[in-house]
């Protein structure tokens, strides 16, 4: 039998777990405080930074001026905000009720007696994990000194400045780079510690008993060593005996060596990590893109595609393994990553499962294209993949690997060449229309339900006065056959080529029209508007 | 009409594709290359082949440039070689139709300056194709399966002849002729800059001899229309 307090707690945990409001609130707090993708977080960060700077300014002001009622109230408010933030961060750190429930369910499942105390201990342990993380400690230290009885801790208020770190990405990166050189920095610190200790001991032994010397305690000796080894050398304490001077000389030489060594460690760390940091920045930027395209391969074809993507103002990221191509793309201010797109984690990082809608596999190498296609398809079964095949045999393989569309540059040219030798003008015109030259385009207009197209006969539309040529109509799925001269099958639906004037449109039909882009856009607008306002428009 | 004689210079990936498509059309093909191995491969496919060093004018003449070849494709792998070939051929045969392939933007102008009539940029076309697929997938799908595909929808150009039935008709009248199910896409006016004018811009234009109509439609209808256009128009006497 489970004791009564435990049943209450478990019941309460279940209620929390089932409550959508609780989850929503937690989610919102997460968005505000931690979620790197959230839109709200940058505002929150800036506001917190401003608060911190304001309180620090206040502290500086209070050093020489007595606090007024206003400043005290302000400080109290800020403190409460900090406390709320600290608790909120602790709250969203993990799901405590889940820990209890997991323990309870495990006990139920195994037929064991549920014991509340170990579960609670695990809850506290997890929260302690948060409380002992460096950033949480800084947060706490920033709050503590605000309590009036702890005025001694005023000095810790400076930790509020450290708190700024929390809100700035670049400083975190800086710290991470240095952290990777931990080994070298530790070695250096141990070396400095050893030299300081040795020299301090030596100078203390040599000079502590000398009348004229300023070194009276071991602390003086350590102070002098540190001031000397870092080449500051105030000169308030100077060695008086020849032995002391010898120690000073060794110390100065060691100091120069240490400074140059530490400089080179830091510079090296950044030199090594520069590319990585830049890439990280790139990935951070790709996270902001919505509905973006992943362009694998920035060769000749990629260049043409990208040019037109820019014209359409689409968001995209380029991946190419050749540094030259990447440099060219970056020169144009494009988002480009120099890496092999066949790597699954790279595709993951540029958002194949997040914000990308299309993958273009258009490198010059069929094998690479096939591999990228397969990888991308496995990672996301719904994403659209357009691939390039240089050999016609590859096209079938690409489709098998999961490409939605395959484009064959050489095949296209062969086709065009065959058309061209018989009908040069027509071929030019068609390719011109397809590529949107001189503003001419072929495009689709949907027959929206209840719009002027729904149920209309073609003659009523006055397409020629709208400066549009009707190419054909693609029927709505599942409609019955309508009288027309030429009907084709396009993807299981009927396509009526150049239907007669008596042809009646149904909702869901798609008109394929030819005309100036602006004429098409205008007509489409009218169709949309008429659907909204009834057929009056 | 005697079939056109076409020479393809360079039997590489591109040359293979072009040859593969051209051999379905009524024309005589000749594959020219300097590489015996490539020629052997072309021979296996049943093409006529000639080995020729294109830098030598006499060899070009031996192939038939300036005599019985009407059109050449310059599909050599190297840009400089292509330009050289175009210039050599242009010098030998001023009336030859020269189609060249390129793979960079700058060389298109060079090839044109050298005398190529049409420059095809496979990568630019493929790039445009891909971006069309993204922008207008449905249109591309329809065209893919009708005009470019196996279905018998074709694009054709029909000249307006002096004695034919089309002269004097408005463009809008052409498009509503019931018997043939055709869409008038555009026309090229006689004498003018040979620029394509799209039908939507020019509905009221009256056709005159020497114009060229661009039509899309089923092959049978196009054939019928072509015959009608060429025939003397009986109704004009009325």
Sorted by sequence, the CB contacts under 8 Å of residue A337 that are 6+ apart come out as A279, A282, A283, A317, A318, A319, A320, A326, A346, A350
Smallest Cα distance from A526 to chain B, Å:
19
User: Do the bridges between strand A384-388 and strand A356-361 make them parallel or antiparallel, or are there none, so unpaired?
Assistant: parallel
Determine contact: A296 vs chain B, CB below 8 A.
no
Domains of chain B: 4-120 (3.40.50.720), 152-237 (3.30.70.1450)
Among residues A383, A401, A399, the alpha carbon closest in space to that of A292 is found at A383
Smallest Cα distance from B176 to chain A, Å:
9
Q: What per-residue confidence (pLDDT) applies to A437?
A: 64
Q: Which of A295, A443, A469, A477 to mutate to test the interface with B (most CBs of B within 10 A)?
A: A469
Of A428, A444, A471, the CB nearest to B183: A471
Q: What per-residue confidence (pLDDT) applies to B67?
A: 78
CB proximity under 8 Å: B 53-92 to A: 71, 73
Which of the two residues, B231 and B219, has the higher pLDDT score?
Answer: B219
Average pLDDT in chain B: 79
**Banded pLDDT at B236 (limits 50, 70, 90):** very low
Determine contact: A374 vs chain B, CB below 8 A.
no
Which value does ipTM take for this structure? 0.72
Q: What per-residue confidence (pLDDT) applies to B237?
A: 39
Percent of chain A scoring above 70 in pLDDT: 91
- Per residue in B1-37, is it b (16+ CB within 10 Å) or e — as a string? eeebbbbbbbbebbbbbbbbbbeeeebbbbbbbbeee
Put simply, the answer to whether B130 touches A388 (Cβ < 8 Å) is: yes
Q: Taking residues A459-482, what's their average pLDDT? A: 81
Smallest Cα distance from B12 to chain A, Å:
10
Query: Which residue does chain A place closest to B8, by CA atoms?
Result: A417
Lookup result for tokens 């062969």: A414
Residues of chain A contacting B4 with CB distance shorter than 8 Å: 421
Q: What per-residue confidence (pLDDT) applies to B238?
A: 36
Q: What per-residue confidence (pLDDT) applies to A204?
A: 92
Query: Which residue does chain A place closest to B152, by CA atoms?
Result: A488
Q: Which of A149-158, A246-255, B183-192 has the highest mean pLDDT?
A: A246-255
Q: Which of B41, B129, B188 to mutate to test the interface with A (most CBs of A within 10 A)?
A: B129
Between A9-23, A320-334, A448-462, B169-183, the lowest mean confidence (pLDDT) is in: B169-183
Q: Taking residues A280-284, what's their average pLDDT? A: 75
Average pLDDT in chain A: 82
Q: Which of A325, A388, A417 to mutate to test the interface with B (most CBs of B within 10 A)?
A: A417
Residues of chain B contacting A298 with CB distance shorter than 8 Å: none
Between A73-82, A119-128, B37-46, B135-144, the lowest mean confidence (pLDDT) is in: B135-144
How many residue contacts between A and B have a Cβ separation below 8 Å? Answer: 221
Q: Taking residues B156-178, what's their average pLDDT? A: 73
Q: What per-residue confidence (pLDDT) applies to A201?
A: 94
Of A411, A498, A519, the CB nearest to B183: A498
For domain A291-413, say whether CATH 3.40.720.10 is its number.
no
Q: Where in chain A is the domain with CATH 3.40.50.720?
A: 291-413
Q: What per-residue confidence (pLDDT) applies to A493?
A: 80
Of B14, B131, B183, the CB nearest to A309: B131
Q: Which of B22, B26, B200 to mutate to test the interface with A (most CBs of A within 10 A)?
A: B200
Which of the two residues, A273 and A443, has the higher pLDDT score?
Answer: A443
For residues A104 and A410, what is the distance between their CA atoms, to the nearest angstrom? Answer: 66
- The full DSSP string for chain B is -PPEEEEEE--SHHHHHHHHHHTTSSEEEEEEES-HHHHHHHHHTT-EEEE--TT-HHHHHHHTTTTT--EEEE--SSHHHHHHHHHHHHHH-TT-EEEEE-SSHHHHHHHHHHT-SEEE-HHHHHHHHHHHHHH-HHHHHHHHHTTSSSSSEEEEEEE--TTBTTTT-BHHHHHT-SSS--EEEEEE-SSS---EEEGGG-TTPBP-TT-EEEEEEEHHHHHHHHHHHHSB-GGGG-
**Banded pLDDT at A354 (limits 50, 70, 90):** confident
Q: Taking residues A291-305, what's their average pLDDT? A: 86
Put simply, the answer to whether A490 touches B141 (Cβ < 8 Å) is: yes
Q: Which of B126, B174, B203, B215 to mutate to test the interface with A (most CBs of A within 10 A)?
A: B126
Q: Taking residues A122-140, what's their average pLDDT? A: 85
Put simply, the answer to whether B127 touches A433 (Cβ < 8 Å) is: no
Distances, alpha carbon A107 to alpha carbons A10, A15, A98, A100, A102, in Å = 12, 19, 14, 11, 8
Residues of chain B contacting A435 with CB distance shorter than 8 Å: 128, 132
Q: What is the CATH number of domain A182-275?
A: 1.10.287.70
Put simply, the answer to whether A421 touches B27 (Cβ < 8 Å) is: yes
Residues of chain A contacting B129 with CB distance shorter than 8 Å: 407, 412, 434
Question: Tokens for A229?
Answer: 């080894």
Put simply, the answer to whether B132 touches A362 (Cβ < 8 Å) is: no
For residues B11 and A224, what is the distance between their CA atoms, to the nearest angstrom? Answer: 83
Q: Where in chain A is the domain with CATH 1.10.287.70?
A: 182-275
For residues B44 and A497, what is the distance between their CA atoms, to the nearest angstrom? Answer: 41
Of B118, B146, B157, the CB nearest to A423: B157
Residues of chain B contacting A493 with CB distance shorter than 8 Å: none
Q: What per-residue confidence (pLDDT) applies to A190?
A: 93
Of A392, A408, A444, the CB nearest to B136: A444
Is A362 in contact with A305 (CB distance < 8 Å)?
A: yes
Residues of chain B contacting A301 with CB distance shorter than 8 Å: 123, 126-127, 130
In 10 A of CB A518, how many CB atoms?
A: 11
Smallest Cα distance from A413 to chain B, Å:
6
Put simply, the answer to whether A421 touches B4 (Cβ < 8 Å) is: yes
Q: Residue A333: is its pLDDT beyond 70?
A: yes
- Report yes or no on whether pTM surpasses 0.90: no
Q: Judging by beta carbons within 10 Å of its beta carbon (0-12, 13-18, 19+), is residue B179 exposed, middle or buried?
A: exposed
Is A413 in contact with B17 (CB distance < 8 Å)?
A: yes
Q: Where in chain A is the domain with CATH 3.30.70.1450?
A: 439-533
Dihedral sign for Cα B90, B94, B98, B101, please.
positive
For residues A17 and A468, what is the distance between their CA atoms, to the nearest angstrom? Answer: 59
| Polymer length of chain B | 238
Put simply, the answer to whether B18 touches A362 (Cβ < 8 Å) is: no
Among residues A530, A368, A377, A511, the alpha carbon closest in space to that of A449 is found at A530
Smallest Cα distance from A331 to chain B, Å:
18
Put simply, the answer to whether A434 touches B143 (Cβ < 8 Å) is: yes
If residue A413 lies in a helix (H) or strand (E), which one and from where to where?
helix A409-422
Q: What per-residue confidence (pLDDT) applies to B178?
A: 59
Helix axes B122-135, A409-422, angle to 10 degrees: 100
User: Do the bridges between strand A510-516 and strand A440-446 make them parallel or antiparallel, or are there none, so unpaired?
Assistant: antiparallel
Smallest Cα distance from A463 to chain B, Å:
9
Q: What per-residue confidence (pLDDT) applies to A223?
A: 94
In 10 A of CB B105, how many CB atoms?
A: 13
Query: Which residue does chain B place closest to A484, by CA atoms?
Result: B181
**Banded pLDDT at A193 (limits 50, 70, 90):** very high
Q: Which of A98-102, A223-227, A320-324, A482-486 has the highest mean pLDDT?
A: A223-227
If residue A121 lies in a helix (H) or strand (E), which one and from where to where?
helix A116-131
Put simply, the answer to whether B185 touches A433 (Cβ < 8 Å) is: yes
Of B126, B142, B188, the CB nearest to A412: B126
Dihedral sign for Cα A492, A493, A495, A499, please.
positive
CB proximity under 8 Å: A 216-245 to B: none
Put simply, the answer to whether B200 touches A302 (Cβ < 8 Å) is: no
Percent of chain A scoring above 90 in pLDDT: 8
Query: Which residue does chain A place closest to B121, by CA atoms?
Result: A413
B183-188, strands of its sheet edge to edge: B153-159, B212-218, B183-188, B196-198
Q: What per-residue confidence (pLDDT) applies to A218?
A: 92
**Banded pLDDT at A192 (limits 50, 70, 90):** very high
Residues of chain A contacting B140 with CB distance shorter than 8 Å: 434
CB proximity under 8 Å: B 156-175 to A: 156-157, 172, 175
Between A211-220, A225-234, A238-247, A457-466, the lowest mean confidence (pLDDT) is in: A457-466
Query: Which residue does chain B place closest to A309, by CA atoms?
Result: B131
Distances, alpha carbon A422 to alpha carbons A209, A416, A428, B156, in Å = 110, 10, 12, 9
Question: Tokens for A236?
Answer: 């308030």
In 10 A of CB A366, how many CB atoms?
A: 19
pLDDT, tens digit, for every residue of A418-430? 777 766 666 667 7
Q: Residue A19: is its pLDDT beyond 70?
A: yes
Which of the two residues, A369 and B170, has the higher pLDDT score?
Answer: A369
Put simply, the answer to whether A469 touches B133 (Cβ < 8 Å) is: no
Of B17, B129, B141, the CB nearest to A414: B17
Query: Which residue does chain B place closest to A405, by CA atoms?
Result: B133
- Annotation: CATH topology of A439-533: Alpha-Beta Plaits (3.30.70)
Determine contact: A502 vs chain B, CB below 8 A.
no
Put simply, the answer to whether B138 touches A417 (Cβ < 8 Å) is: no
Q: Judging by beta carbons within 10 Å of its beta carbon (0-12, 13-18, 19+), is residue A284 exposed, middle or buried?
A: exposed
pLDDT, tens digit, for every residue of B197-227? 777 777 778 888 888 888 888 888 888 888 7
Q: Taking residues B110-127, what's their average pLDDT? A: 83
């Amino acid at each position: 039998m489970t004791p009564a307090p435990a049943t209450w707690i478990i019941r309460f945990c279940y209620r929390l777990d089932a409550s959508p409001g609780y989850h929503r609130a937690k989610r919102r707090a997460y968005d505000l405080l931690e979620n790197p993708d959230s839109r709200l977080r940058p505002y929150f960060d800036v506001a917190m930074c401003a608060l911190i700077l304001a309180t620090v300014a206040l502290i500086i002001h209070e050093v020489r001026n007595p606090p007024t009622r206003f400043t005290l109230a302000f400080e109290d408010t800020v403190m409460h905000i900090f406390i709320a933030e600290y608790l909120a961060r602790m709250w969203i750190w993990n799901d405590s009720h889940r820990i209890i429930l997991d323990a309870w369910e495990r006990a139920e499942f195994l037929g064991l007696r549920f014991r509340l105390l170990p579960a609670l201990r695990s809850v506290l342990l997890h929260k302690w994990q948060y409380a002992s993380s460096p950033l949480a400690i800084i947060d706490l230290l920033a709050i503590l000194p605000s309590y009036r009885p702890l005025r001694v801790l005023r000095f810790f208020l400076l930790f509020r400045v450290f708190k700024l770190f929390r809100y700035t990405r670049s400083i975190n990166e800086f710290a991470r780079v240095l952290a990777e050189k931990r080994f070298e920095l530790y070695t250096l610190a141990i070396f400095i510690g050893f030299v300081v200790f040795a020299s301090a001991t030596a100078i203390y032994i040599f000079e502590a008993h000398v009348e004229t010397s300023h070194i009276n305690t071991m602390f003086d000796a350590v102070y002098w060593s540190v001031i000397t080894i870092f080449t500051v050398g105030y000169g308030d304490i100077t060695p008086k005996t020849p032995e002391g001077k010898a120690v000073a000389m060794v110390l100065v030489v060691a100091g120069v060596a240490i400074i140059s060594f530490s400089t080179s460690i830091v510079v090296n760390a950044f030199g090594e990590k520069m590319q990585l940091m830049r890439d990280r920045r790139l990935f951070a930027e790709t996270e902001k893109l919505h509905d973006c395209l992943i362009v694998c391969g920035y060769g000749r074809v990629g260049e043409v595609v990208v040019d037109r993507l820019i014209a359409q103002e689409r968001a995209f990221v380029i991946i190419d393994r050749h540094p030259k191509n990447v440099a060219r793309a970056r020169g144009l201010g494009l988002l480009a990553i120099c890496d092999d797109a066949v790597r699954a984690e790279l595709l993951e990082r540029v958002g194949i499962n997040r914000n990308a809608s299309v993958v273009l596999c258009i490198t010059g190498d069929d094998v690479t294209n096939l591999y990228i296609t397969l990888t991308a398809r496995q990672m996301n079964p719904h994403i659209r993949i357009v691939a390039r095949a240089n050999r016609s045999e590859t096209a079938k393989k690409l489709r098998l690997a999961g490409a939605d569309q395959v484009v064959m540059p050489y095949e296209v040219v062969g086709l065009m060449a065959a058309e061209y030798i018989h009908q040069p003008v027509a071929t030019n015109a068609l390719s011109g229309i397809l590529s949107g030259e001189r503003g001419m385009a072929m495009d689709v207009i949907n027959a929206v339900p209840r719009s002027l197209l729904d149920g209309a006969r073609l003659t009523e539309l006055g397409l020629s006065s709208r400066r549009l040529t009707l190419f054909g109509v693609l029927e709505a799925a599942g409609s019955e056959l309508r009288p027309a001269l030429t009907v084709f099958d396009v993807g299981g639906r009927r396509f009526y080529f150049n239907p007669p004037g008596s042809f009646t449109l149904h909702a869901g039909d798609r008109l394929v029209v030819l005309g100036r882009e602006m004429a098409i856009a205008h007509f489409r607008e009218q169709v949309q508007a008429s659907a909204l306002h009834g057929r009056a428009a | 009409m005697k079939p056109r004689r076409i020479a393809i210079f360079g039997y590489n990936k591109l040359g293979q594709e072009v040859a593969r498509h051209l051999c379905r059309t009524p024309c005589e093909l000749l594959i020219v290359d300097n590489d015996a191995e490539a020629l052997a491969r072309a021979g296996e496919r049943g093409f006529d082949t000639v080995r020729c060093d294109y830098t030598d004018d006499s060899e070009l003449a031996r192939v038939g440039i300036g005599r019985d070849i009407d059109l050449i494709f310059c599909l050599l792998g190297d840009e400089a070689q292509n330009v050289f070939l175009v210039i050599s051929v242009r010098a030998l045969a001023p009336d030859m139709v020269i189609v060249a392939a390129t793979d960079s933007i700058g060389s298109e102008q060079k090839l044109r300056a050298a005398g190529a009539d049409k420059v095809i940029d496979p990568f630019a076309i493929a790039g445009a194709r891909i971006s069309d697929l993204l922008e207008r997938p449905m249109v591309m799908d329809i065209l893919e399966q009708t005009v470019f595909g196996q279905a018998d929808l074709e694009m054709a150009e029909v000249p307006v002849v002096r004695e034919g039935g089309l002269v004097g008709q408005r463009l809008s009248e052409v498009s509503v002729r019931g018997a043939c199910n055709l869409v008038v896409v555009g026309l090229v006016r006689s004498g003018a800059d040979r620029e394509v004018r799209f039908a939507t811009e020019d509905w009221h234009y009256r056709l005159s001899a020497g114009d060229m109509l661009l039509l899309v439609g089923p092959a049978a209808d196009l054939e019928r229309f072509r015959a009608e256009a060429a025939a003397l128009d009986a109704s004009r006497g009325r």
